[in-house]
């Protein structure tokens, strides 16, 4: 089943819905770049203290309700953790003014990306407690973009930016596996649940995604959003353990951004 949603307050904010937990609480970024939390039909928004106005980006939420994402201020881009109303900044040591947290699991492990000072390209990182381990896919595409992490420490993401086609990857214990959605020229992996099911987007032609995929083991399920939605710029952000997918798209006829939920 597929359902689209907008701001329950009755005003358009543009939902960039990118994270979901097993209570089906949704996190993301509302337009004008404030973080948001959507639970039980009620929305709350938040901003990182000292962030530039309209520069807080929510991304993921774990089963304890801890939210992660990124924000910008005069010193560049930084990751954040929001737990029990308290913010913590996250920066990879030596990063070139850019760190972003894309995912969190239930033990508090973080995954994200940072800009390398030596190359100016993006690499991934995992933070466990206070320890940070970095990783770089070192493919033809120079950017390693992490999307999510599950309770087993399995990371998903994508490589891109080298003038060649984007590919999805899994990463664990120093080992990468690269994959492509069936028939796709470009594949972006965004989230992984605790059963190992991966969600992301694919394109068979242009640079923007045209369909959503769920990879469960070696099996792929793909679907397009309904034609009545006039969808473009599709992003599938995350997948809960029951298989519920959250994401967002832009309605090409109105240029308004809506969230969507899909049950596979």
94 φ, ψ to 5°?
Answer: 85, 0
Give the pLDDT confidence of 56-74 residue by residue, as tens digits. 999 999 999 999 999 999 9
Q: How far apart are CA 195 and CA 78, in angstroms?
A: 30
How do residues 130-139 score in pLDDT, each as one tens digit? 999 999 997 7
For residue 229, the 8-state DSSP code is G
135: closest CA among 150, 146, 124? 124
Q: What is the mean pLDDT of residues 68-96?
A: 97
DSSP state of 66: -
Distance CA(125)–CA(137), nearest Å, equals 11
DSSP symbol at 23: T
The pLDDT value recorded for residue 128 is 98
- pTM, full prediction: 0.95
Helix-then-strand count for the chain, H and E? 0, 24
Given this model, what pLDDT does residue 205 score? 77
Per-residue pLDDT, 177: 96
pLDDT at 20: 98
**Structure token digits, residue 211:** 């369909």
Average pLDDT over residues 8-18: 80
């Amino acid at each position: 089943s597929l359902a689209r949603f907008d701001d329950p307050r009755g005003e358009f904010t543009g939902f960039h819905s990118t994270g979901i937990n097993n209570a089906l609480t949704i996190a993301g970024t509302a337009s004008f770049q404030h973080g948001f939390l959507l639970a039980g039909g009620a929305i709350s928004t938040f901003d990182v203290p000292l962030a530039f106005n309209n520069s807080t980006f929510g991304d993921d939420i774990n089963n304890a309700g801890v939210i992660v994402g990124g924000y910008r201020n005069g010193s560049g881009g930084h990751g954040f953790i929001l737990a029990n109303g308290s913010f913590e900044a996250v920066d990879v040591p030596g990063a070139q003014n850019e760190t972003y947290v894309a995912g969190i699991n239930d033990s508090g492990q973080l995954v994200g990306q940072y800009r390398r000072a030596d190359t100016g390209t993006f690499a991934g990182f995992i933070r466990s407690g206070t320890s940070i381990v970095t990783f770089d896919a070192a493919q033809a595409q120079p950017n390693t973009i992490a999307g999510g992490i599950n309770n087993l420490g399995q990371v998903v993401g994508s490589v891109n930016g080298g003038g060649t086609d984007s590919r999805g990857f899994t990463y664990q214990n120093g080992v990468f596996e690269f994959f492509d959605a069936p028939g796709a020229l470009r594949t972006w992996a965004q989230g992984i649940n605790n059963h190992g099911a991966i969600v992301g987007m694919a394109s068979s032609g242009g640079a923007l995604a045209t369909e959503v995929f769920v990879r469960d083991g070696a099996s792929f399920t793909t679907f397009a959003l309904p034609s009545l939605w006039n969808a473009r710029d599709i992003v599938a952000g995350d997948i809960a353990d029951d298989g519920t997918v959250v994401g967002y798209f832009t309605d090409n006829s109105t240029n308004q951004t809506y969230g969507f939920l899909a049950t596979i």
